[in-house]
Amino acid sequence: MYVFNYDPESGAYTGGTPCEFCQRTPGNVLVPAWATSIPIPKYDPLKEWPFFDQQEGQWHLRPLPLPSPKEPAPAVADRAEALQATLQAHVDAATRIVDQLKYLAQGEGA
């Protein structure tokens, strides 16, 4: 037997799991909390999601929210400037390290 799990607060479908049959009363299924043996309806996971209504004892499909509009990509010139600034920062850091190593080397030879 297979049961369908849902979130206890929202009722959103969270997946399915196999369940056990009761050994004391053969034929009875042991359905865990926040699960139901009522199968979920067919749905398109890109457009909607199943939610279980405990009071009605049935699944409802709700549309998924639309994605937020993306910010426009920076212009090519802006990206090139940002890349150049990043590369310059790395060169500057490397220069400082080399200067520090030279300074330390001079102190050891003195």
Give 55-101 pLDDT, tens digit per residue: 999 999 999 988 778 877 667 777 788 889 999 999 999 999 999 99
Same domain, 11 and 34: yes
Same domain, 59 and 14: yes
Domains in the chain: how many in total? 2
Same domain, 75 and 58: no
Lowest mean pLDDT among 31-35, 43-47, 72-76, 103-107: 72-76
Average pLDDT over residues 38-46: 94
Largest CA distance in the chain: 91
φ and ψ at residue 17, rounded to 5 degrees: -145, 150
Same domain, 59 and 75: no
- Please say which residue of 63, 80, 101 terminates a domain: 63
Same domain, 40 and 86: no
Domain span including residue 50: 2-63
Give 58-70 pLDDT, tens digit per residue: 999 999 988 778 8
- Residues with Cβ within 8 Å of 13's Cβ and at least 6 positions away in sequence, in order, are 4, 5, 6, 40, 49, 50, 51, 52, 59
User: Average pLDDT of the chain?
Assistant: 89
Measured at the alpha carbon of residue 90, what is the angle toward residues 97 and 80, in degrees to the nearest 5?
165
Same domain, 76 and 59: no
Same domain, 59 and 107: no
- Is 22 a residue whose pLDDT tops 60? yes
4 vs 106, more confident: 4
Confidence of residue 39 (pLDDT cuts 50, 70, 90): very high
Query: Is the full-model pTM beyond 0.75?
Result: no
Average pLDDT over residues 31-44: 94
